[in-house]
Amino acid sequence: MTDKKLLMGNEAIALGAIEAGVQVVTGYPGTPSTEALETIARYAKRCGIYTEWSSNEKVALETAVGAAYSGAKALVTMKQVGLNVASDPLMSLSYIGVKGALVLLVADDPGPHSSQTEQDTRVFGHFANIPVLDPATPQEAYELTKLAFELSHEFEIPVILRTTTRVSHSCGDVEVKAAEPAPVEAIEEGFVKDRRWTIFPKLTAERHPWLESVQEKLSEHFSELNFNSVLGSGKIGIIASGVSALYVKEAVKTVRDFEELFTLFRVGTVYPFPEKAVLSFLKGIDQLIVAEELDPYLEEQVLQLIGKFHLPVDVYGKKNGFFPVSGEYNVDIVIDSINGVLVTCEESLRLSHASPAVSRKKLPPLPIRAPTLCAGCMHRTVFYAFKQAAKQLKKEAQTDTIFSGDIGCYTLGNAYPLNMVDTCLCMGAGISLAGGLSRTNPKAKHVAFIGDSTFFHSGIPAVINAVYNGANITLAVLDNRTTAMTGHQPHPGVGVTVLGNASKAIEIADVVKSCGVESVRTINTVDPDSLESCVKAAKKAMNFNGPSVLVFKGKCVGIAKPDKYYKIKPETCTGCGFCIKELGCPALNLDGDKPVIQDNCSGCGLCAQICPSEAICIGGVKL
C-alpha cells in the first residue's frame, strides 16, 4: 500500500530519508536546502532520529561521519556554498568511506536567487569521486533519496543528492510508502576500532585504487537504472538532467509527432556517468542537444564519449553558444535554444517544420521587487548609527571608514540609501577582510558586520586572528536571536535546539571576551530612543586602538510581531522627505508630496528619532 501526498521537493527528500532508515541528521540552514532537515525534525522524536542544526557545514558533516563510522545511516543538509565549507573532511572521506550510510543533500541555486555563486555540485562530485544523483521532480527526489542510502551502504561511500532551487521548492504529488513515517531502527553495532578510520598517506595510497574501482562499478550499475530513461525515437537527441529535463519535455511537447523527431535521454545519476546507457543512446542519433543549467558537465561527458568511440554525432550546447553558459533556465530559454539548433541543422535534417520547431507566446516581464531590509529591522538602526558615527569621525579627524559586510539579512545594508556594505565575500569573511584592509589602509577606520548565526558559523576563528595579530578593527555583531534569512532557525546563542529542547545559550559577548577582545559592549536596540546610544557606542568603539566588539541585541520583526505603530502628523510634517531618503524603510512612502507610514510599520521608531521637524509619533497599538 502507498499513500499519495502533495509535497515540496525538500519534504519528499525528508520522507525518503526516514523511509530509508536515517538515524542521524545534521546540517546548517541554507536556502534552498533548509526545509529537508526541518521536516525531519518534526518527526524526529517520534521516529527516534537524532537531529541537529550544527554550527556550520564542516561540523555537520564531521558529526554525521562519526555516526556513519558507527554503522548509522546519516544525512547532512546544506546549500552549494556550504559544500565549500564541508569540502575538507569530504575530500578525505571519499578515500576512507563509511560503514553505515552517509548521504549529503546539497541544493544548488541557479540564478542565483539567494547565494554568492552558481557553482555546480555535479562537477564537485566528479572532482571528489563521490556519486551524484540529480532528481527532476519531488517524486524522483523521494525515490533517489532512498537509492542514495542503498548505494552508500552497498558501496561504502558517501553519496551526494544534488537538487536545485526549482526541485527543492517545487510541489507535486508524491507516492510514499506510508501515510505517517514509522520509527527507525536503533543503532546497534557502534564504532569498531580499525586502522581504516585513520587517514595517513599510506592508507590513502592503498585506498585510491579502491576508490577508482568503485567509480567504474557505479557507472555500470547506473546504466541499468530506470532513473536514466529514454523517450522518443528521433534522430535528434536531447540529453538533460534535473529540472532541465522537465523544461525540455515541456518545450518539445507542442511539436507534432515530437517523439518521432526527438529522442530525450534523462540522466538521473549524473556521476559516475552512466557510460554504457548513454553510448547506446548516442548510437541512434545524428545531432545531440545538451540542455543543462550551470556548468557544461553533461556536454563534456558526452564529448569525451563521442571522441572515445569515434561517433558521427554533432553536439550543440554551451560550448558552441547554443545555450546560456550561466543563470537559471526556464521553458522559454530552452525553446529558444532548441529552435536555434534546429535552424542551424535544417538543411542537413531536411525537415520542413524544423525552423522553428517550437512556438511560444511572449509574456510581459514580472515586476521587479528590489530586496530590502524589513520595516522595523534592527539592522537598519545599527547601520544608520554607524553611518552617522562615520560622518562625525570624517568631519572631526578627516578619517574615512570602510565597512565589511557578510552573508545574511544584513547584506542588504549595501542597498540605497544606506550604502553601508563595501565588501561581501562569504560567511565569516567580513572580519578577516577588515583585518586585511586595515593593514593596507591604516589611516581609515574599519568596521565589520556579522550576524549572530554567522558568528557561530565561522566568525570566531576570525575574531581570534584579529586579537592575535592586533588588527585595528571594530566588529558589530547584529544579534536578532535567530538565523533570519533562511527561515528563523535556532543557533547556539538562542538556547533551544531544532527539536525544541532547551540548551545552554552561548553569549556572544562572553565568547569574544574569552578570545581576548578587551573592548566589548552589549547594546539593546529595542528601545525606541536607541539611535543616540548606538551612535555614541559606535564612535567610541571605532576610536579604540585594537579590536573592539559591539553586540547589538534586538528582535527579528519576522518573529517578534510589533505591538505599536507610528504615524506622521500632517500639520507638522514639512514634506522634506528626509525619513525616506535616509532610511529606505519599506513602511515609508510618498502620498503626493508628503511621506506617509503604511500598515507594515513595525514600530521601531527610527524614523521618529531622525525627523527634523518631530512630525512622527506613536500612532497606536497593533491589534
Binding-site residue set for [4Fe-4S] cluster: 573, 576, 579, 585, 601, 604, 607, 611
Measured CA to CA in angstroms, residue 548 lies from 120, 249, 281, 316 at distances of: 38, 57, 63, 56
d(CA 80, CA 31): 9
Q: Largest alpha-carbon pair distance within the chain?
A: 83
Neighbouring residues of 228: CB distance < 8 A, sequence distance ≥ 6: 222, 265, 266, 267, 268, 269, 274, 277, 278
DSSP sequence for 362-412? PPPPPPP----PPTT-HHHHHHHHHHHHHHHHHHHH---EEEE--SSGGGG
How many helices and strands, by DSSP H and E, does the chain display?
21, 23
Q: How far is CA 194 from the centre of its chain?
A: 36
Distance between CA 345 and CA 371 in Å, rounded? 43
Alpha-carbon span 46 to 249, nearest angstrom: 40
Q: Residue 536, Cβ neighbours under 10 Å: how many?
A: 15
Return the sign of the alpha-carbon dihedral for residues 293, 296, 299, 305. negative
Whether residue 601 contacts residue 566, with contact meaning beta carbons closer than 8 Å, is answered with yes
Could you count the other beta carbons within 10 Å of the beta carbon of residue 399? 15
Q: Which three cell numbers stand for residue 289?
A: 542537444
Long-range Cβ pairs for the range 306-310 (8 Å, 24+): 306/282, 309/279, 309/282
H runs (alpha helix) in 223-328: 243-252, 258-261, 275-282, 297-309
Instruction: Tally Cβ neighbours within 10 Å of residue 220.
Output: 14
Distance between first and last Cα of the chain: 48
Cell 552512466 -> residue: 274
Q: Measuring CA to CA, which residue among 10, 70, 73 is closest to residue 42?
A: 10
Neighbours of 367 (CB within 10 A): 5
The answer to whether residues 567 and 617 touch, using CB atoms and an 8 Å cutoff, is yes
∠ Cα 393 399 400 (to 5°): 105
Which grid cell sits at 84? 565549500
Indicate the annotated binding residues.
573, 576, 579, 585, 601, 604, 607, 611
Assign 3-state DSSP to the chain and report helix, strand, coil percentages, each to 5: 40, 20, 40
Rounded Cα distance, 350 and 524, in Å: 74
